[in-house]
Amino acid sequence: MAKKTKPSDETPAQAEPTNGAQVSDQLREPAEVRYADQLAALAQNDKDERPASWRLSPRSVLRYVVGGVTLKADIGGKAMDVPITRKFFGDDGIVERAIVTLASERALLLVGEPGTGKSWLSEHLSAAICGNSTLTIQGTAGTTEEHIKYSWNIARVIAEGPRPENLIPSPTMLAMRSGALLRFEEITRCVPDVQDALVSILSDKAIAIPELPDANMVWAKTGFNIIATANTRDQGVNELSAALKRRFNYVHIPIVGDQKTEIEIVQQRSAELIQRYNLPTRIAPPIIQLLATVFREIRSGKTTDGVSIKKPSTTLSTAEAIGVALDAALSARFFGSGQVTPADIARNLIGSIVKEDKADLEALKEYAVIVAKKRAAKDKSWQEFHDVVLEMVK
């Protein structure tokens, strides 16, 4: 009789630490950890005045976000040149206005299409200004006033009554106590009652805790403010109330306007992600160029040579293009030669373009037949792209 195999309930073997190399096993680190060296270098070189509780002056926060300099700094006891990389691509004036708002009495609302980098910008602003981008509330239809203010450890309240140590603070309360920034993602997904809870926080700069006999107010320290984001696609789901609108400065984040910038974003962000996934792959610039061209042309319904084409119903954001680049790199690594080819791009593109609406397949097919085919005569990459798309949509 076959012996029953023992179920293996041992904990899986720990991954061997890589020798000395600093590879974090976290899939993603918050900006303040990932860019700690750049933030330290900026702080060491910062000569400007800082608003109360800020880690950096507004000028250095801007420098952190838009990059473009190399600073001498002492990092962990070693003198180093630290390049400050660009985090957010686009109009620097937008970033400047966002920073000015955060130093003011008003809160900041970043508004735009999905995938335009709103959350990304908000994370970097928080990291640079208060060194903590993790005090975040994700707005949903299920967000309650308790998520925004505080809740109680019920078991302990039953045993001991409401006491300060039985209170569970919200990210808002933690940000208020430490004079930090609260990030409120997708604020317009919250129902109006919940939004109203924010009005009192923004106008009083305090949260009342009526259950506590004493010490029943938490006051915000200087430096406290809110960065919220909202998608224009969600508009009309829950409009911001007039009272809340008045307390926010709106900064509109446009879809990246020019192809050169979009290529830069896709190139840099996909390189960072590829590194994160430890892929021994690089996407060659012409491939990124092809990907960005396809996205731009299909998104706008027009080619660079002025030919009109069908537009799909999905938003083809820059973020989607970055996603396609990463997927293409993964499939090249796992199923290909490691080199990302136009075929890898074509195969991984389809899921971005064709989402709810099957008719969008037609748009992609038309693009291959009309646009890619014409370029294929002069360029092998377009030929390969064309062939794979047609194979997939047939």
Ligand X SMILES: Nc1ncnc2c1ncn2[C@@H]1O[C@H](COP(=O)(O)OP(=O)(O)O)[C@@H](O)[C@H]1O
| Encoded tokens for 36 | 């700690």
* Residues of this chain that bind Mg ion (CB under 5 A): 119
Identify whether the C-beta of residue 30 lies closer than 8 Å to the C-beta of residue 136.
no
Whichever of 219 and 277 has its CB closer to ligand X, that residue is 277
Site for ligand X (CB under 6 A): which residue of 50, 189, 269, 299?
269
Site for ligand X (CB under 6 A): which residue of 125, 256, 288, 332?
256
Instruction: Identify what 64 binds: ligand X, Mg ion, none; CB under 5 to 8 Å per kind.
Output: none
Q: Which residue is nearest to Mg ion (CB)?
A: 119
Residues 305, 125: Cα–Cα separation, whole Å: 39
What is residue 278's three-state secondary structure? coil
Instruction: Identify what 385 binds: ligand X, Mg ion, none; CB under 5 to 8 Å per kind.
Output: none
Whichever of 45 and 232 has its CB closer to ligand X, that residue is 232
> Which of the stretches 114-122, 283-291, 331-339, 377-385 binds ligand X when contact is defined by CB under 6 A?
114-122
Chain CA centroid to CA 45, Å? 27
Whichever of 101 and 119 has its CB closer to ligand X, that residue is 119
Contact flag: residue 265 with ligand X (CB under 6 A): yes
Contact flag: residue 117 with ligand X (CB under 6 A): yes
Instruction: Identify what 346 binds: Mg ion, ligand X, none; CB under 5 to 8 Å per kind.
Output: none
Whichever of 89 and 224 has its CB closer to ligand X, that residue is 89
Provide the Cα torsion 121, 123, 129, 133; round to 10°.
Answer: 170
Contact flag: residue 315 with ligand X (CB under 6 A): no
Q: Which residue is nearest to ligand X (CB)?
A: 117
Minimum separation from the CB atom of position 256 to ligand X (A)? 5
Residues 220, 198: Cα–Cα separation, whole Å: 13
Site for ligand X (CB under 6 A): which residue of 118, 147, 247, 386?
118
Whichever of 39 and 372 has its CB closer to ligand X, that residue is 39
Q: φ and ψ at 102, to 5 degrees?
A: -65, -25
Distances (CA, A) of 287 to 49, 97, 261, 321: 45, 35, 15, 12
Q: Of 48, 74, 76, give the one whose Cα is nearest residue 62.
A: 48
Site for ligand X (CB under 6 A): which residue of 31, 39, 90, 327?
90
What is residue 112's three-state secondary structure? strand
Residues 332, 339: Cα–Cα separation, whole Å: 6
Identify whether the C-beta of residue 171 lies closer than 8 Å to the C-beta of residue 182.
yes
Identify whether the C-beta of residue 301 lies closer than 8 Å to the C-beta of residue 311.
yes
Minimum separation from the CB atom of position 271 to ligand X (A)? 12
Minimum separation from the CB atom of position 51 to Mg ion (A)? 26
Q: Are strands 69-75 and 78-84 parallel, antiparallel or unpaired?
A: antiparallel
Whichever of 50 and 124 has its CB closer to Mg ion, that residue is 124
Minimum separation from the CB atom of position 13 to ligand X (A)? 33
Minimum separation from the CB atom of position 114 to ligand X (A)? 4
Identify whether the C-beta of residue 180 lies closer than 8 Å to the C-beta of residue 223.
yes
Contact flag: residue 267 with ligand X (CB under 6 A): no
Residues 90, 325: Cα–Cα separation, whole Å: 20
Interacting residues with ligand X (CB under 6 A):
88-90, 112, 114-120, 229, 256, 265, 269, 318-319, 322
